[in-house]
Amino acid sequence: MEQTLGDDSIPASGSFDKSRVLNVKPLRCLVPVFPSAPNVSSFSTPQGAAPFVCASPSGPFPNGVAPFYPFFNLSDSQRPPEQHTTTPTSVPNQSAPPFVFNSSTISNAVPINSFRTPPPATGGRTQHTGVANGDTGSSKRVTRSRAQPQQQGSVAEEDGYSDNQNQSSEYFDMQTVTEEKSKAGRPKRKSQRRISGGQAQDMNVASSDADIDMLVDKIQTAFNDTFRQNEAERGSVEYVSTVYDLFRRRISQIEDAKEAVPGVTKRPDLRAATLFLNKGIRTNSKKRIGTVPGVEVGDIFFFRMELCLVGLHAPTMAGIDYLTVRNSSEEEPLAVSIVSSGGYEDYAEDAEVLIYSGQGGVNRRDKEMKDQKLERGNLALEKTTHRANEVRVIRGMKDLSTPTGKIYVYDGLYKVHESWVEKDGKSGCNVFKYKFVRLPGQPEAFRIWKSIEQWKGGATSRVGVILPDLTSGEEKLPVSLVNDVDDEKGPAHFTYTSSLKYSNPVNLTVPSSGCVCIGGCLPNNSNCPCVQKNGFLPYTSNGLIVSQKSLLLECGPSCHCAPNCRNRASQSGLKIHLEVFKTKDRGWGLRSWDPIRAGSFICEYAGQVIDPSKIDKFGVDIDDDYVFDATRISQPLGVLPGDSSEGLKIPFPLVISAKYTGNVARFMNHSCSPNVLWQPVSRENKNESDLHVAFYAIRHIPPMTELTYDYGIVSDEEAEQRKRKCLCGALKCKGYFYQ
């Protein structure tokens, strides 16, 4: 693989700057899983056709990735040529059955979407009252030696991008060779003649790529100033994970706006991770046995690179991570973590026991099976069995939102109780097996996922369910009402609505017009008014918001694009199975049965818009527990350093009351360390305002984790009247919030 600093430049000996992201030209191109037509973006939808809203992998390697730890300068004993592949496995369908609403079963005396209970002593969302704050299919794991590059036919994984670990191995092997030659003063330029279609990738660095370089420098400065001295704390891990995914989405946004290059896969996940690791933006860089500081049981990850960045599992290819320790006069390998993601025939259905298969035994070229060898990762697990040290277990789960994606769940510490060799039923070759048993007393993680599967499949019922769907069919997915804490039968009466109600239309002073993108707005269409007004399309190809803005412009009623246009991400209703539940000390709260990916739309704040002319000097009625005031000052969360919220402003002071009419958003409690942010969204609707408040995930949110946001800051004159005691439980809780 060729690295270039320009069209003809070759770095002199000792001058190679590893902190720069270089343009990379692949030697070969794999057959794309989803071939795209030339000259289209990853969101490859021709105008007039129904959009295909996912990124289509079309080649093996990303643009701009340099070698980084742990893939260069490793001793031969530490280079694992045998990898766990990430072939998707089949799991029971987790999608909930559609809720069928029959209006004939509802009495005319009660509103169709109404939920009634007798008024409790402390009804409603208590936090708002001021009392309190509110892999089962079989598949094969394959191996390749360093002398045997990967063949065609890679598997597409995660976010629509190829995440085949052997492919990554080949890429980093080639980078290692180039790096070593550069260090020896013999940099070698490799031929481009094997690039698909004879087209070389454009070496001209766009200004947006230069912006990426400057942005990562700002992130490095922010990390060094705030977290470098405490990089093993929870706050550091959350910062690195959150900003990495934001940075990856920003790179994806920029690359989507460029013309596609046939045979070249866009891999913003690898490019972002390369920049982070080269700049030292990571935590827990030293391998260790046992727990990883700042990483909690149940944490979820959508890329193998994320595991590496937080120090949970270093190799992005091998399923077994190990270190070497000295035992008397010799050294021996000990396993520190494993990833079980379905590449081998593991038995992974039990929540407490995992039967894990060893590495190797498959020839990458001809698929010939052979006996596995007791070496590298297998040897490390064997030594671990005898020494009984703890091993971190990460389970790979099917990502139902991405056909070939995975979600990696940290399931805590296990010990290997026994190991054996058995004959593979198909090949007859010897395979190593290891029995992992989970240590007691840890928070539940994988068991929660299995329980939710059973709830959705109807195998078991959810304990404490008061109503299976408090929306009475108003939402596409049912929202259960659950109380497994006390005897309260539900919140005070309100009428459920999924939309925002304006008493009177609000006219805009500046006329506007919608787009004419029949097949959906494309990020590289400079003639699209939606692209022009936002600067970029605000969402990635799979609907993830890129950054927080003062006002985000979506397509609306006056646009000609289809309902599944990527610029309508907040308009398709609930896509996540939510439940309203009774908390122990913060009234009613909101959480999800499904894992929520960072940047995902969750819901909007529905209710009745209050006429701005009727708002008193304090802004809203202090006694209204369910008011959302978009005029409050809110600390930008999830915004990358250097981002600016200047420019577009909310066209009028939006205040929403959900006391009598509202949706699930009214149950979201405050937190000083929230996992959800709110974003004003304007939908194109000619001269009338169509302003909404949408909620998005700041970071990855595991199932059954409470959803919270920051209620914001009020003006000084009303601060004392609105200050309430905060019980969010965050490590850096301020002790109060504003009602």
488-547 pLDDT tens trace: 999 999 999 999 998 877 766 566 778 999 889 999 898 999 888 888 899 998 999 998
pLDDT at 698 over 80: yes
Structure tokens at 269: 């996940």
pLDDT at 95 over 50: no
DSSP H helices in 64-149 = 126-129
Element containing residue 556 per DSSP (H, E): none
Query: What does R_g of the chain's alpha carbons equal in angstroms?
Result: 27
pLDDT category, 122, cuts 50, 70, 90? very low
CATH topology of domain 461-738: Beta-clip-like (2.170.270)
Q: Are 446 and 437 in contact (CB under 8 A)?
A: no
Q: Are 556 and 683 in contact (CB under 8 A)?
A: yes
Instruction: Let me know how long the chain is.
Output: 739
Structure tokens at 2: 């060729």
Q: What is the pLDDT of residues 428-483, one digit of tens each?
A: 889 999 999 999 999 999 999 999 999 998 889 999 999 999 999 999 999 999 99
SS3 content of the chain, % helix, strand, coil (to 5): 20, 20, 60
As a whole number, mean pLDDT of residues 98-102 equals 34
User: Which class for 647: exposed (0-12), middle (13-18), buried (19 or more C-beta within 10 A)?
Assistant: exposed
Q: Are 686 and 512 in contact (CB under 8 A)?
A: yes
As a whole number, mean pLDDT of residues 254-277 equals 89
pLDDT at 701 over 50: yes
The predicted structure's pLDDT at residue 639: 54
DSSP state of 428: -
DSSP state of 229: G
Q: What is the DSSP string of 197-259?
A: GGPPPP-PPPHHHHHHHHHHHHHHHHHHHHTGGGTTSHHHHHHHHHHHHHHHHHHHHHHHTSP
pLDDT at 734 over 70: yes
The total of other beta-carbon atoms located within 10 Å of residue 645's CB is: 14
Where in the chain are the domains?
A: 231-246+284-457, 461-738
Bridge-based pairing of strands 391-398 and 330-340 is parallel
CA distance 703 to 13: 51
CA distance 505 to 611: 10
Nearest to 434 by CA among 412, 419, 424: 419
Residue type for position 357 = S
The predicted structure's pLDDT at residue 176: 33
Nearest to 338 by CA among 361, 362, 314, 360: 314
Structure tokens at 420: 């054996």
Q: Are 561 and 567 in contact (CB under 8 A)?
A: yes
Q: What is the pLDDT of residues 344-389, one digit of tens each?
A: 778 889 999 999 999 887 766 667 788 999 999 999 999 999 999 9
Domain 231-246+284-457: CATH architecture, name and number where available: Roll (2.30)
Q: Are 739 and 722 in contact (CB under 8 A)?
A: yes
Please give the mean pLDDT across all residues of the chain: 74
Structure tokens at 734: 């301020």
CA distance 555 to 532: 12
